């Protein structure tokens, strides 16, 4: 359900940004106001944001695996050192 637009927002922008908004609106065949509403109201994650979130998750998983491998390596090294100490005594 669409609500009636009764509120006004005034923005001060550079001439370049205003021209950019006008070009974008023209390409989508909408007014600048409609362009801003659409871009703000329907903002979902961009392809880059989705990719970044995926990469972050992959790094988290890899970090967990690396941490576990290092901990195991340290335990194994401690065990070998303990064996060597016992052999010397």
pLDDT in tens, 27-63: 989 999 988 988 887 666 677 877 888 899 999 999 9
At 56 the pLDDT is 92
Say if residues 61 and 55 touch (Cβ distance below 8 Å).
Answer: no
- Is pLDDT larger for residue 3 or for residue 87? 87
**Region 16-34 average pLDDT:** 93
Q: What is the pLDDT of residues 61-70, one digit of tens each?
A: 999 999 999 9
Supply angle C-alpha 40, 45, 46, rounded to 5: 95
Whether the pLDDT of residue 1 is over 80: the answer is no
Question: Measured between alpha carbons, how far is residue 62 from residues 24, 34, 58, 74 in Å?
Answer: 41, 44, 6, 18
């Amino acid at each position: 359900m669409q609500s009636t637009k009764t509120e006004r927002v005034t923005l001060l922008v550079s001439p370049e940004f205003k021209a950019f908004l006008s070009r974008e609106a023209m390409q989508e065949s909408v007014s600048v106001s409609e362009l801003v509403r659409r871009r703000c109201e329907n903002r979902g994650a961009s392809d880059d944001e989705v990719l970044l979130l995926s990469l972050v998750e992959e790094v988290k998983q890899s970090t967990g695996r690396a941490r576990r491998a290092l901990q195991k390596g340290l335990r194994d090294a401690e065990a070998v050192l303990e064996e060597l100490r016992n052999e010397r005594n």
